[in-house]
Amino acid sequence: INFLACQLVALLFAIPFRSLLSVEKVGTKTRHYVETVLGVLLTIFCFGYQIWHLLVQSLVSYAVMAYGGRRFSHALVFAFSMIYLSVCHIYRQVYDYGGYTLDITGPLMIQTQKLTSLAFALHDGRYKDQSRLSADQKQHVVSKLPSMLQYLSFMFYFHGIMVGPLTFYNDYIAFIDGTNYIKPGGNAAASGSRKHPAEHLNRVVIKKLLVASACCTGMMILPGLFFPPEKLNTPEYYNMTFFERMMFLLGVMTLAKHKYYFAWILGDALNNAAGLGFSGYDAQGNPQFDLTDNVDVYGVEFSTSLKVNIDSWNKKTLVWLRRVVYDRAPFYNTLAVFACSAFWHGFYPAYYITFGSGAFMTIVTRQVRRKIRPYFQKSPSFSFFYDVLTFTFCRFANAYLAMPFLVLEFQACYYMYKSLYFYLHILTLIGFITLMFVPTPKQARRQSPPGGTLAQSSTERPASTTHERMTENKARGNGNGVSTDGSTVVQRLAHKAQDNETNGNMVGGSTVETGGQSRKEEGGLDNAGQNKSVNNSGSTLWQGEKEQSMLIGEVEGGGGETQAGAGPASQPKIQFDLHTKSE
C-alpha cells in the first residue's frame, strides 16, 4: 500500500514539476532541491527509519570517490556498495525468509547501480587515457566530482526512488538542465518545425499508465482464476502428468511477470511525466520517450531468440551489467555478468540456479544460432518453421529458468526440476557436446539477420527492402534504442553492394561514422568476424578486442544485432530555445 501511495503522490508532483518548475522558469538549482527533498520525504513515508541505509551507502561512496585515489576509487565503490547491499539482503533473508515484503533493499539495489556506474564514469573521465575508452564509455564519462546537491538529487530524485529504473548520471543531469531535448536525428520536416518533443508527452504518459493498470489487474485477478502459484511444489502439482506440469508452469510464470510489468511501466510513466525519458527521434522524426523503458513486453512474450528474450527484460540492469562488469572484466565476461547479477539480487539459492543455468543455456543457444540456423534459411517455409521452433523454445525456457524465483529454496528447486526430469538441462548439455563437433557453415558469416520476435520472421524481412526501426535495449548505448547523445535508427542494408560502397572488406553490414555521428547498420562483421567502425574513406577507426555485447547484446550467428549510433550526419541537431536561469 505504501509503495502504491508513494507512486501516486510522485505522479501528482511529476506533472507540475515538468511544467511549473522547468529549467527556463526556476533554474537547475531549484530543480535539484525539489528532486532531493521530495525523494527523501517519499522514502521516509514508505520505509521510515530505513532511509539511513541509503544515506550511509551513498555518503560513504561519495567520500571514496572524492578521496579514494585515482587507482582504486571506482573498485572500492563497487566493492563497498555490493557488500553493503549484500548485508541488507542477508538481514532481510533472516527476518523475512521467503517473504515478499517491500523493504529498503529495493531502492538499495537501484542506488547500487547508480553509485557504481557513476564511480566508473568518474574514473574514466578523470584518470583514464581517453583514447583507450570505447565510444560508449566516452559518451558517459564524468570529468569532475558532482557537487553534493547534484549527487543527492541523482540518488533521491522522487520519480525514480521506488523502482527506478536506473538512469545514468549524464542523462539525469541533461534532464535537470534541459539539454536532454537537444538531440540529433529526425527528418528535415521535423527539424524545421522546431516543435518541442514534450508537446504530446501527456499522451505518452496516459498510454503507459493504462498499460500499467491492465498489468495490475491481470496480476491481481488472473493467477487465482487460472494458474495459482501456490500449487507449485505441492502434491497436487506433482500428481499432474509431465505435460500438465509443463503447461501449468508456463501459465504460472507468464502471469507472474505481470507484477514486474506493472512496477516497471508505472515507473517509466512517472519519469516521463516529470520530463525524464526523451531519447531522440525515430526515422520519421517523431520524439521517443523510452530512455527509462525497462521492459519490452512484446519482446519478452514473442521473441524467437533467448538473447532477445533476455534483452527485453529488466533492460537498464542489463546495460548496467555490460558497462560495469562485462566491458571491464579481464576474462570470462559472460560468467562474470551472471555471477554479479545473482549477487546483486541476493542470496537465495534460486538466484544462482537461475543465473547459472541461464549462462550455460545462453552459450549453447548462441552456438545453435551460429551453426544450425543457417541450414533453415534456404527457403521461407524452412525459415518460418525455425522461427516457430525457437519461439516455442523461448516460451518454455523462460518459464523453466525463471521458476526458481518463485520457490527460492534449493530443495524446492530440485524437486521442481526433478518433476520435469531436468529436461532442458539435459537437452542443453547434449547440445553443448554435439555442437562441439558441428562445423560453422560458411554462409553464417555472410547472412545473419538478428533474432527478433515471431512477427519479425525472416520471411517478413525481404532482402529487397531497407528495414528501419528503433531498437530497444540491445545492450548497446543506453539500452533503449538510442545513444545518449542522440536518436538512433537501425538500418538494415538492402544489397551487398551498399556494404561494399562503405567498406570493401565488410560483409553484411558496417558502422559508419561521419562528422562525429554514427550510423550502425546491422550485421557489421568483417571477414574475420570482428566488429569494426569505419569512416567514409573506409579506414578502420576501431576494432573491438572482444565482443562488446555479451549475453544481453551478443552477436549471434556471426553477425547479430547491433545498437545504432546517432542519426546520419546529414541530419542537423534539433535545438530549442532553452534559456537556463543562471544561479
Per-position DSSP letters for 106-160, written without gaps between them: HHHHHHHHHHHHHHHHHHHHHTS-GGGS-HHHHHT---SPPPHHHHHHHHH-TTT
Q: For 384-467, where are the E strands, in sequence order?
A: none
Catalytically annotated residue among 180, 271, 294, 314: 314
CA–CA gap between residue 554 and residue 538 (Å, rounded): 25
- Paired residues of 507 in beta bridges: 525
User: Residues near 266 by Cβ (< 8 Å), separated by ≥ 6?
Assistant: 7, 163, 208, 209, 212
CA–CA gap between residue 90 and residue 77 (Å, rounded): 20
CA distances from 220 to 101, 128, 257, 578 (A): 16, 50, 12, 44
Taking alpha carbons only, the member of 29, 182, 172 closest to residue 582 is 29
Three-state SS at 321: helix
| Contact by Cβ (8 Å): 318, 473 | yes
Per residue in 451-481, is it b (16+ CB within 10 Å) or e — as a string? bbbbebbbeeeeeeeebeebbbbbbbbbbbb
Taking alpha carbons only, the member of 91, 106, 97, 60 closest to residue 349 is 97
Establish whether 503 is a catalytic residue. no
- Paired residues of 491 in beta bridges: 468
Establish whether 32 is a catalytic residue. no
Q: Residue 174 burial by CB count (10 A; 0-12/13-18/19+): exposed, middle or buried? A: buried
Q: Which amino acid is at 529?
A: G
Q: Which amino acid is at 129?
A: D
| Contact by Cβ (8 Å): 227, 237 | no
Taking alpha carbons only, the member of 294, 323, 330, 122 closest to residue 212 is 294
User: Residues near 452 by Cβ (< 8 Å), separated by ≥ 6?
Assistant: 303, 304, 305, 308
Catalytically annotated residue among 89, 159, 258, 345: 345
For 475, the enclosing helix (H) or strand (E) is: none
Cis status of the peptide bond prior to 165, with omega within 30 of 0: yes
Any idea which residues carry the catalytic annotation? 314, 345
